Amino acid sequence: MDVIDSRKVDPSFKFKIAKEEGGEGILKCFACGACTARCPEMDVKPEWNARVIIRKALLGLKEEVLTSEFFWICSAHYGCLEKCPQKVNVKEVMNAVRDARLLEEQTEDFTGKKTKKYLDMDFKYTITQNKAGKDLYECFSCGTCTAGCPERELDSLYSPRKVIKNVLLGMKDPVFCNKFVEICSSHHRCFTQCPQGVEIPKLMNAIKNIAMKEGYNRTTK
């Protein structure tokens, strides 16, 4: 077992996470491990462990938490929430950790205003405000849509799952640059097979509409 260096401990870190929207649940966690037992990401990589991330955050191991991959790939399946005796919404806590990471990366632009690099965390909210994008939060990135998508036969990079995941991460430019958004053929096979009933074609249309409203032009990107 590694010895914790007290010089690297930030006792206030858990409270910073708790102040972020959705992060308040971290203070209710007593690290029982019920979330990890139900986590599909653990089958992919054992290091992706929700219990360990939350435990480290509670201990104040800020650097170890913010350099973890897990809070980026948490797929929002909510199986952890169903089993948690404290009803901690792990996905929301991971979002709060991610926001804390983004705050660490803030820079000043030429006006002196604080800005976040790379990611637009309001992007997903913009999409859900569009009637066609209302299903966004129902997706937990299972990949059923991509597995049944005929566009994948044209190009293996065409993946509705990847587009939605990038939206949730706030990766606005990569979403607008993704050709799949334009060529989604509205066959609705994904919709009929999706366990959450997410209407992928409508979601892609919502993204296209927002891109047009913002004056996005592929030739300029």
Closest by alpha carbon to 71, among 53, 89, 51?
53
In CATH, what is the architecture of 6-106?
Orthogonal Bundle (1.10)
pLDDT tens for 65-92 read 988 888 887 877 788 888 899 999 998 9
pLDDT band at 107 (very low <50, low <70, confident <90, very high): very low
pLDDT band at 174 (very low <50, low <70, confident <90, very high): confident
The mean pLDDT value of the chain amounts to 84
Mean pLDDT, rounded, for 36-54: 87
Mean pLDDT, rounded, for 56-63: 94
Percent of the chain predicted with pLDDT > 70: 91
Choices 2.40.50, 1.10.1060, 3.30.1240, 1.10.3470: CATH for 123-220: 1.10.1060
pLDDT band at 109 (very low <50, low <70, confident <90, very high): very low
Q: How far apart are the C-alpha atoms of 193 and 3, rounded to whole Å? A: 49
> Where in the sequence of the chain do the CATH 1.10.1060.10 domains occur?
6-106
